[in-house]
Chain A
Amino acid sequence: MEKVDRQHPVEQDPKIRRTNFDAVENNFTDEQAALEASRCLHCKNAKCVKGCPVNIQIPEFIAAIKEGNIEKAGDIIRQTSMLPSVCGRVCPQERQCEGNCILGIKGKPVAIGALERYVGDKTNAKIGEINDCNKKVAIVGSGCAGITAAADLRKAGYDVTVFEALHELGGVLRYGIPPFRLPRTVLDREIEGLKNIGVKFEKNVIVGKSITINQLKEDGFDAIFLCSGAGLPKMMNIPGENLNGVYSANEFLTRVNLMHANEESTPTPLKVGEKVAIIGGGNVAMDAARTAVRVGYKEVYIAYRRTEAELPARLEEIRHAKEEGVIFKFLHAPSEIIGQDGYVKAMKFDLMELGEPDASGRRRPVPTGESVTIQLDAVIVALGTGPNPIIQTSAQKEGLELETNNRGYIIVNEETGETSIPGVYAGGDVAPTGESNAINAMGAGKRAAKAMDEYLKSVCQ
């Protein structure tokens, strides 16, 4: 049999896609999907399944594609993952399923993510019969963890209300990940699906401010799932950080993705200059850089204090960013932002070299003693986020002992998501149990939904 190469979805030309927010990659055509599915060896002890944080039955769904039964493939995926169209696009597959694929040892792994996305986009979630029970569940946050828990709990018959602080649903999928990576039609479709099975959404409600945990209980909620994420941006604490033109990546991305500040017709302002540096090397840094290209910055830098080998972003995003003209400055550590009349003018970086590995196993950057100054008119800080303390503080004020660790994350039983308050569960980035990403948040949502179902059955007869 002739050897089939790994299939690649058609991508928009980098010169053109620099100017729009449309999806960079098309989906697989039916022919490509069939060819790619034919590459899978259907291992008995499939390593790819172990590499997936929610253990999707990968060889089975790929076998269904081969049979030409897309509906069956969709059903198999949705047994474990409610958001295949999202995860197939945003998971770092090279560190998960595809990173474990046996074909990857000598050649290229099966394009599991692209196949999952193909199936997700072509099929819909099936709504089985829902046997309503008279118990109410509150979900705090409409990101990946919340959406997943809401779906599972609704299917189990609960009256589910999702509370969202912002005026639109989806969490990071809405305000963080740009539409060229996750088209909004895909996200809207997933949320519509939840509304169709009877999940209620309350926007503009901040749990801990608009309503407290005790008040939710008074309103008849029998169990609560806290999944408010980790949205508090970390800053650099260097001189000049509060000059005009310095943004957190959250602010920059929220202005563009949520508020559409780049569009003429919207009143939310966005100041676009000539040169911008993004500080950091994760997916958020790539998203901010590629968004900066699209809103019209002429020169976009990514400054990272280690080398390309240590970049934590997805390989595909790094490649896409390079193709779109983003300039990488490796071994650059921020030291000072220089201003003029209150606005960013330039930024000074210490040049680094790699030393011994640190606690995370990555080689630690060490200053060489040399520095460099780059002329800029904006700086976007993408150095990660921490948990927002609103819920924790409010719980404390009403005398609830919600245990948190020294960094402010909620402490949970990793198997069940239970917090120190009976009936209150937590998961996703607010109570992280692994790498911060969509699929891990979904996994946490699923685990908590299962545990909440058992809890509710045991306490409310």
Chain B
Amino acid sequence: MGYKILRKKELCANQYELTIHAPYITKNAQAGQFIILRVSKDGERVPLTIADYDREKGELTIVFMAVGYTTKQLATLEVGDELVDIVGPLGQPTHIEKYGTVVCLAGGYGAAPCYLIAKAFKEAGNKVYMIMGARTKDLIFWQDKMKDACTELFITTDDGSLGTKGFVTDVMEDIMNKEKVDYAIAVGPMPMMRAVAELTRGKGIKTEASMNPIMVDGTGMCGACRVTVGGEVKFACVDGPDFDAHQIDFDEVINRTKIYKDYEKKRSENCNLYKQAESLK
């Protein structure tokens, strides 16, 4: 049984939204969880966060950027094509409770998972600010959807082409200066999550970050995704992916994401799929 692609949308250059028929995933999916997919036979297992789902219809939505071998391969698939494997929902759901004022910080294509997270916090009675950041305005997507999911949406771009010029942390600082923030969650590139953690640490704001280390099985049997949190080794796939951002050893986790960088570089030099995708740019 394959997993059929029902809809496909190019959100912006190199970033796609796919809706896939995957009833076993949507049956129990919750905000903050992820899936692992394989595009084809002999393909690698790649983790992606659940961006949205429709439980009734058994439809799963993922958002990804075509950056590596598998995501580039995924981007070549069209409506009606099937993926060989999708498994999930994996990981612990984001812990939702009524904190008061919650800030969701969403960076780059990492923004997508924040949709479900913000929505869940809002439904739990929180005042939810969402700060979406990207390099430039063309990379901002899902604006209307995000607006609905939160109480107030802020947009930042590094070049100032849309919203505030600067980083998500700049807007966060403004909010923190104006009012009491009870909880923050950051989803995006590691350096961005680390910057958020540094910003909230001194203020004692409970902050979580959604870790995206290298994974293989995603079910806790290999430990490729291990992260040190508060001096203890955790497996992001089963204990996380969300962890207390003030306790994460970011140096270590960033180092561990580099293990296969050379390997992938070498591969990209010899791989037609890579070359093809590069030439599209």
Contacts and interface: CB of A to CB of B under 8 A. Distances in A.
B43 interface: yes
A209 interface: yes
Given A210-B27, A254-B221, A266 B255 contact: no
B24 A205 contact: yes
A284 B75 CA distance: 38
Interface string A170-206: 0000000000000000000000000000000001111
Contacts of B86: 204
Given A167-B84, A205-B87, A267-B70, A244 B258 contact: yes
B222 interface: yes
Given A260-B42, A269-B260, A250 B223 contact: yes
B44 A209 contact: no
Contacts of A232: 220-221
B28 A209 contact: yes
A166 B87 CA distance: 8
B238 interface: yes
Given A267-B69, A271-B260, A342-B255, A206 B219 contact: yes
Contacts of B260: 269, 271
B70 A210 contact: no
B90 A209 contact: yes
Contacts of B238: 388-390
A233 interface: yes
Given A235-B223, A251-B223, A259-B44, A215 B256 contact: no
B25 interface: yes
B221 A244 contact: no
A100 to B, nearest CB: 34
Nearest to B39: A267
Interface in A257-284: 259-260, 265-269, 271
B263 A271 contact: yes
A303 to B, nearest CB: 19
Interface in A296-349: 342
Interface string B9-25: 00000000000000011
B224 A251 contact: yes
Interface in A199-236: 203-206, 209-212, 215, 231-233, 235
Contacts of A390: 219-220, 238
A242 B228 contact: yes
Contacts of A389: 220, 238
B274 to A, nearest CB: 11
B257 to A, nearest CB: 10
Contacts of B264: 269
User: Interface residues of B toward A: which range?
Assistant: 35 or more
A271 B88 contact: no
Contacts of B233: 235, 237, 241-242
A207 B24 CA distance: 10
A55 B10 CA distance: 61
Nearest to A255: B216
A248 interface: yes
A271 B252 CA distance: 19
A210 B22 CA distance: 10
Contacts of B188: none
Given A242-B252, A268-B44, A342-B255, A204 B24 contact: yes
A250 B222 contact: yes
A265 B40 CA distance: 12
A388 B235 CA distance: 12
Given A211-B28, A215-B27, A244 B259 contact: yes
A456 interface: no
A288 to B, nearest CB: 13
B54 interface: no
Contact of A204 (B28, B85, B216): B85
Interface string B142-160: 0000000000000000000
A248 B223 contact: yes
B87 A206 contact: yes
Contact of A254 (B38, B69, B217, B256): B217
Contacts of B38: 167
Contact of A267 (B28, B43, B219, B255): B43
Given A241-B233, A267-B267, A390-B238, A165 B219 contact: yes
Interface string B68-98: 0110000000000000111111100000000
A139 B219 CA distance: 18
Nearest to B264: A269
Interface in B44-60: 44-45
B222 A209 contact: no
B223 A233 contact: yes
A267 B222 contact: no
A245 B258 CA distance: 11
Given A235-B233, A241-B233, A388 B28 contact: no
B194 interface: no
Nearest to A237: B233
Contacts of B258: 244, 342
A247 B223 CA distance: 8
Interface in B154-173: none
A211 B87 CA distance: 11
A445 to B, nearest CB: 20
Contacts of B45: 167, 259, 268
26 contacts: A165-B87, A166-B219, A167-B84, A209-B89, A210-B87, A211-B24, A212-B28, A231-B219, A233-B222, A233-B223, A237-B233, A244-B258, A250-B222, A250-B223, A251-B224, A254-B221, A255-B216, A259-B216, A265-B42, A267-B44, A268-B45, A269-B44, A269-B260, A269-B264, A271-B263, A388-B219
Given A250-B223, A269-B267, 12 more contacts: A166-B217, A203-B85, A204-B24, A204-B87, A206-B219, A211-B27, A233-B222, A242-B228, A251-B222, A259-B216, A266-B44, A268-B44
Interface of A: 165-167, 203-206, 209-212, 215, 231-233, 235, 237, 241-242, 244-245, 247-248, 250-251, 254-255, 259-260, 265-269, 271, 342, 385, 388-390
